[in-house]
Amino acid sequence: MNLEDLRKQIDKLDCELLEVISKRLALMPMVADVKRSQNTSVNQEDRERELMASMRKMAQKKEMNPDFVERIMREIITESKRIQERNM
C-alpha cells in the first residue's frame, strides 16, 4: 500500500468522524428541551465523570492514549453544552 492509498483511507475516516460528531451534536437541542422541561441544569458533572471514565477505559482496551481520548471528549462536551445553553 502506498502513501496516497493510506491518505485516502484517512480522509474517508475523517469524514466518518465528522459525520458521527455532527449526529451527536444534532441531538443537543432535544437534550436541552428535555432538560428545560425537567428543570435540569446543562452541566451534569456526574454524567461527565461517568462518561470520561467509560471513554478512558474504552481507550485503554483499544490501546489508545486515555488522556488523548479525554481531551477530544472534553471538547465535544464543551460544544454540546454550548448548543444546549443556546437552546435553553
pLDDT tens per residue, range 59-84: 999 999 999 999 999 999 999 999 99
Supply the pTM of this predicted model.
0.91
pLDDT for 70: 98
CATH architecture of 3-86: Up-down Bundle (1.20)
Cα separation, 31 vs 40, in Å, equals 10
Hunting for cell 467509560 — which residue is that?
54
Domain extent listing, the chain? 3-86
